[in-house]
Structure 1
Amino acid sequence: MMIGNSTFSYFVLGGYMQVGSLRYLYFVLTAVTYMSNVVSNTCVIVVICMTRSLHEPMYLFLCSLFINELYGGVAFFPFLLLHILSDIHTVPIPFCFLQIFCLYSYVNVEFLNLAAMAYDRYVAICCPLQYHTHMTTSKVLISIFVLWLYSFAKVLVTVFLNIQLTRCRNIMDEVYCKNYSVVNLACSDTTVNNIYGLFSTVITILVPLLPILFSYMKILLVCFSGSKETRQKAISTCAPQLASLLNFSFACFIHILQSRMVVSGFPEVLQIFLSLYHMIIQPILNPLMFGLQISTIRNACKNLFCHNKQHTDLM
């Protein structure tokens, strides 16, 4: 089978060589993490969908964010669990490119979704009288569709450029498929891939970062000049978004740093964990932060599940 003038039909993932006798421990920890991801994100999505009072722009963006966490998890965790237990760590080339597409589009959607949520809070706090005019349900749904479509299109170009390369090697020291690592296996000219990869990375960060900085600067100005009640409202709704943004930005920075630099002096297990940080911590952190911090979601959870429990007891 030949893809992009390559004589290989699979890639070998060398990052699993250190798993050894601890594979069952890693498997259990990974399985528990994945189940936590699925349960927590699904739970909040169900609460938002079933609570009519939460059918507002901010919660629609949140729903998109939690769906993205499930999307990234499906592309990552089952693959990881399978290889932890397996003695053969090969992955077919088409599946490797599919995983790259899913994981990198997940990262793009995450950043853009956080940017859209920051703008939503800016309009709600700084221009409250115009909020229902600017942030209608139809506009919010269109913006969610556009940010997902844009992310898919941008990453599709990355994958297409990678497919065209001729590869003379097929072994990479990773536990999942990374675009930069796959490009480094090529023995053909990778100038276009490197330029587009750098451009794509900068755009992935800058496009959402500008509206985020603008939104929160305006929100801070309102907080300092507003009443105590205004400050409390702004903090309660913006704190989870800022925490999520900072955590994901840090995780992606570590991921980029590890992909492009040789990091020595750290245990290999720690290096692997840091490379997986953005896929492991963020999907669990988001529903916990938003669910616990935003009172409307907390109350909706209590009302929904307490009502279901009471209904079951009556039966």
Structure 2
Amino acid sequence: MASVGNLYNISSVLKLQGFDLPSESSLPAFFFATLSYMIILFCNLVLLITIIMNKSLHEPMYLLLLNLPINDLLGSTALFPQIIKELLLDTETIEFSTCVTQAFFIHVYGGGAVFILAAMAYDRYLAICIPLRYNTVMTNAHIMKIISVVWIFNFILMTILFYLLLRLPRCRSQLTHSYCDNPSLLQLVCADTTINNIYGLLVTALTQVISLGLIFYSYLQILVACFRNKRSDTRSKALQTCATHLIVFLLLECLGLFTIISYRLQNLSALSRRFIGVSTLIFPPTLNPIIYGLKTKEIRTKIVKLFQQNVFPS
């Protein structure tokens, strides 16, 4: 009985895999991580402030878009401070409670991204395919319901996921990843994880079926409506808007798919696996505000005006 008790009497401090960088590369990596985080913060805050400060952008499409930088800031803030600390202090340890918190919000970020993009696709479907009913359907009350459902549903799914994890005894302290997520935390468990694996697969399948189904249906209907439309300017604007959404969604899906596959490729180097995992939390939060800022004329105009009035006043 004593040996069983000692088996689960382990440290509350976990050891991360680390990036295994040579000493001469640690400082450039620290500056790169810090710069990446600063760019993500700057770009997403600019998009966020622009939408909040301009009443002309308080429309359904932009109110839904507002949730994307919030979600990106949540995900990147869950990851980058820990990585910057790891590179700066050359430490590869993290408190278990901090690790679970980081993993929870990283998963919230992943689920939130696909649900928000699905909600934006639904909005564009109504605006382009049923324009006469759009204003009566997409009221402020309806928008708030959609946003609330997206966040509440996402938080419920992830809370159950981590409840199932935390109920299990842990007998290891060595993570196989450079940051915390559910798969790496499950590897610390010395118990049957069948329920966790089944639920994890169900959550992944559910989020993909809902998001992919809604997005593909919406854009298929939008394409049909666009090619039926006789006005070339209307068709061009609709296709441009859809192309922006699709670029963002495909980028997120491809990076997420690569991350999932990387866990199952035994021959993949540890460094490549860690880079693929981190890239999902670097590229979408960096590119999303840039893509929407550059490709959406209304936002681009307001951002320029914001900088002219507050940063470079004449």
- Output the amino acid matched with 1:159: F
How far off is 1:17 after superposition?
Answer: 2.9
Structure-2 separation of matches of 1:19 and 1:134: 58
- Residue 232 of structure 1 pairs with residue 236 of structure 2: yes
Among 290, 307, 310, the alignment partner of 1:305 is 307
Task: Flag the 1:221–1:23 CA change in 2: closer, same or farther, 3 A.
Answer: same
Per the alignment, residue 286 of structure 1 pairs with 288
Per the alignment, residue 276 of structure 1 pairs with 278
- Residue 112 of structure 1 pairs with residue 115 of structure 2: yes
How far off is 1:238 after superposition?
Answer: 1.2
How far off is 1:187 after superposition?
Answer: 1.5
TM-score normalised by L of structure 1: 0.93
Among 54, 58, 76, the alignment partner of 2:57 is 54
Per the alignment, residue 12 of structure 1 pairs with 15
- Residue 254 of structure 1 pairs with residue 258 of structure 2: yes
Structure-2 separation of matches of 1:98 and 1:269: 24
Flag structure 1 segments of 5+ consecutive residues without an equivalent: none
Cα deviations by residue, 1:27-68 (Å, 9 ceiling, x for unpaired) = 101111100000001001111111111000000111111111
- Residue 130 of structure 1 pairs with residue 104 of structure 2: no
Given that residues 175 and 184 in structure 2 are in contact (C-alpha distance below 8 angstroms), is that contact kept between their aligned partners in structure 1? Answer: yes
Between 1:135-144 and 1:22-31, the stretch displaced more is 135-144
Structure-1 separation of matches of 2:9 and 2:217: 46
- Output the amino acid matched with 2:303: C
- Output the amino acid matched with 2:53: M
- Output the amino acid matched with 2:187: N
Among 89, 93, 96, the alignment partner of 2:96 is 93
- Output the amino acid matched with 2:252: F
Structure-1 separation of matches of 2:105 and 2:22: 25
SS at match of 1:18: coil
How far off is 1:12 after superposition?
Answer: 0.8
- Residue 223 of structure 1 pairs with residue 222 of structure 2: no
Per the alignment, residue 181 of structure 2 pairs with 178
TM-score normalised by L of structure 2: 0.93
- Residue 22 of structure 1 pairs with residue 35 of structure 2: no
Given that residues 123 and 131 in structure 1 are in contact (C-alpha distance below 8 angstroms), is that contact kept between their aligned partners in structure 2? Answer: yes
How far off is 1:15 after superposition?
Answer: 2.9
- Output the amino acid matched with 1:234: A
- Residue 141 of structure 1 pairs with residue 151 of structure 2: no
Among 245, 250, 260, the alignment partner of 2:249 is 245
Aligned CA RMSD, in angstroms, stands at 1.7
Task: Flag the 1:8–1:82 CA change in 2: closer, same or farther, 3 A.
Answer: same
Cα deviations by residue, 1:166-223 (Å, 9 ceiling, x for unpaired) = 2222112211002111112221111111111111111121111111111001001012
Given that residues 86 and 92 in structure 2 are in contact (C-alpha distance below 8 angstroms), is that contact kept between their aligned partners in structure 1? Answer: yes
Structure-2 separation of matches of 1:19 and 1:136: 56
Flag structure 2 segments of 5+ consecutive residues without an equivalent: none
SS at match of 2:179: coil
Given that residues 6 and 165 in structure 1 are in contact (C-alpha distance below 8 angstroms), is that contact kept between their aligned partners in structure 2? Answer: no
How far off is 1:19 after superposition?
Answer: 5.2
